[in-house]
A = this chain, B = another copy of it.
Amino acid sequence: MAGNTFGEILRLTTFGESHGKAIGGILDGFPAGIEIDEELIQKDLDRRKPGQSHLVSPRIEEDKVELLSGVFEGKSLGTPIAFQILNKDQKPGDYSHLSKTFRPSHADYTFEKKYGSRDYRGGGRASARETVSRVVGGAFAKMILDISGIEIFAFVHKIGSVSIEKEYVQLDLLSTENSPVRCPDTESSGKMIDLIQKVANEGDTLGGEIKCVIKNVPVGLGEPVFDKLHADLGKAMLSINAVKGFEIGSGFASTSMKGSGHNDIFIEKDGDLLTKTNFSGGIQGGISNGSDIYFNVGFKPVATIMQDQTSVDMEGNPVTIKGKGRHDVCVVPRAVPIVEAMAALVLADHLLLNKTARM
């Protein structure tokens, strides 16, 4: 209810303020008997964590996940899986100047008004550090998907004004991790890096887009009315910090097309029903049709900039926010595993729910 639980059958509930003792969560509804690969979890955490390169925030968090329950002798028990990550690199002093000030385009003001107080240390619950728990939950979800052969490939499609010009089918999605900005198109990757460095020197920040492709999804996932598969994917993505837009398949571009050009014509091939095109993005009527699912996620530029900004304090007095601290110029590369994690949670949840569609 209060917004900290995601999913229906596979349910991730998360907790934690950015500068509290720990962040973590409980993953309930995870099926029994699945082999748990703790290294996979850590690997995704490492992809998300700060300090991976000079392009991202130098805050040093070990981000070491500790499993507290639900796994026994290497397998899931069917009981809730609890996990935590200690917040080691806490420097509350960095933030004390913000206790009475509202930073522009952050959640300081809305938290203060909604709850009457807030943990002002680094954003507290509103910090993107919360997404660590999503990555852990998503890594578990991927273990469920792996059994069905479902694979998720997210990558950076756009940073600022630099965008991949190719279709995703022309890209080698296995090469994404070779790029420091997680862009599988070498040329675009280089331009993005240049842009980030340039904007970093200006003390400014960038946004961008992540594209996510999900392969080998069986036909039938998704519920036809309110819980359409892409509606749940959309909510999952829009719940990630800084996300401002979501589009499935042909997305907003479809609004300029005509039906005759947009319809995906069915064809039969070797006994399987396929479509000539895939403007639908692998989902029709809210239900997966077996084609690739693909969608775009738009991120606004990072709100914390290294420039002075005017703002207002809790008494309404004008203040100047100094640009300081340890922050990313562009979070989009680090958000790739977060997008994957949320997609994995949605898919795994629907995979489990779909078991109840027929007796």
| A111-B224 Cα distance, complex, nearest whole Å | 8
Interface residues on A, range: 35 or more
| A305-B81 Cα distance, complex, nearest whole Å | 31
| A105-B28 Cα distance, complex, nearest whole Å | 26
Binds B, one of A164-172, A177-185, A277-285: A277-285
Question: Nearest B residue to A265 by beta-carbon distance?
Answer: B104
Q: Given A263-B105, A287-B107, A301-B259, are A4 and B33 neighbors across the interface (CB < 8 Å)?
A: no
Q: Can you list 26 residue pairs at the A/B interface with Cβ under 8 Å?
A: A1-B227, A2-B223, A2-B353, A13-B13, A15-B80, A33-B115, A34-B359, A72-B117, A72-B124, A77-B124, A77-B125, A78-B358, A113-B289, A126-B285, A160-B258, A241-B285, A245-B251, A247-B247, A252-B252, A252-B298, A255-B299, A259-B302, A259-B304, A262-B303, A265-B309, A352-B356
Q: Does A155 contact B (CB under 8 A)?
A: no
> What are the residues of chain B within 8 A of A60 when measuring CB–CB?
none
> What are the residues of chain B within 8 A of A39 when measuring CB–CB?
none
Decide if B286 touches A239 in the complex (CB within 8 Å): yes
| A220-B224 Cα distance, complex, nearest whole Å | 30
Binds B, one of A40-48, A50-58, A186-194, A311-319: A311-319
Decide if A225 touches B255 in the complex (CB within 8 Å): no
CB distance from A92 to the nearest CB of B (A): 11
> What are the residues of chain B within 8 A of A232 when measuring CB–CB?
235
